[in-house]
Amino acid sequence: MALLRPAFLSLVLVTGALAAGDYDALLGAMKKSWPQAVTLAVVCDATASKAALATLTGAANGMKIMVVDVKGPQDMGKAIGTLTGRKPDAVVLLAGDHVAGDGSSAATFLIQRMAAMKVPTAATTEAGVKQGAALGIGPGTGGKLLSNAKVAAVAGVAVPDGATAM
């Protein structure tokens, strides 16, 4: 069993490095397409998504990350209220978050409310773009830059050059 722990730890470290690259691509696309996006918001269960938050923060390079902690869908109204008051430049979805991750009804609610406030959302999966994120790039997109032009127009942001429309 002792041999398994170092192997597991190595796997976790390698996975973390891969995730950092995924966020690097996402944040790079955001900086290029939306240079005004300096303050990013993440709505998630901060305890359960601690590793993903650390990886995103490490890739942020000069951008500010605002975390709105939610424990369940019942907290989304309060999260929207917080975001309305602080008005971030963009919102990033964490794909694996059990509350507001890509594909969840809470993420759809978040995306719609943010677009109405002219705040775009970005994701690392195709599912996130299909549900309304204005742009997406990462492991869940096969490394392709995707965009949702309809939502980008509602949010008042540019569709990234070279993006595949969804």
Query: What is the biggest distance separating any 2 CA atoms in the chain, rounded to whole angstroms?
Result: 54
Q: Which DSSP symbol is given to 74?
A: G
Which residues of the chain form beta strands (DSSP E)?
A: 39-44, 64-69, 90-92, 121-125, 135-140, 146-147, 164-165
Q: Which tens digit of pLDDT belongs to each residue from 90-144?
A: 999 998 999 999 889 999 999 999 999 999 999 999 999 999 999 999 989 999 9
Pair 76, 106: CB distance under 8 Å: yes
**Pick from 10, 41, 49, 24: which is nearest to 139 by CA?**
24
Query: Domain 4-165 maps to which CATH number in 3.40.50.2300, 3.30.1330.10, 3.30.390.30, 3.90.550.10?
Result: 3.40.50.2300
How much is the pLDDT for 139?
A: 87
150 Cβ neighbours under 8 A, 6+ residues apart: none
**For the chain, how far is it from start to end, CA to CA, in angstroms?**
47
Express as a percent the part of the chain with pLDDT over 70: 87
pTM of the predicted model, to two decimals?
0.85
H or E element at residue 116: helix 105-116
Percent of the chain that is helix, strand, coil (3-state, to 5) = 45, 20, 35
How far is the CA of 141 from the CAs of 36, 72, 85, 138, 154, in angstroms? Answer: 24, 26, 32, 5, 22
For residue 134, give the DSSP letter: S
Is 42 in contact with 92 (CB distance < 8 Å)?
yes
Q: Mean pLDDT score of the chain, rounded to an integer?
A: 87
Q: In this model, does residue 13 exceed pLDDT 50?
A: no
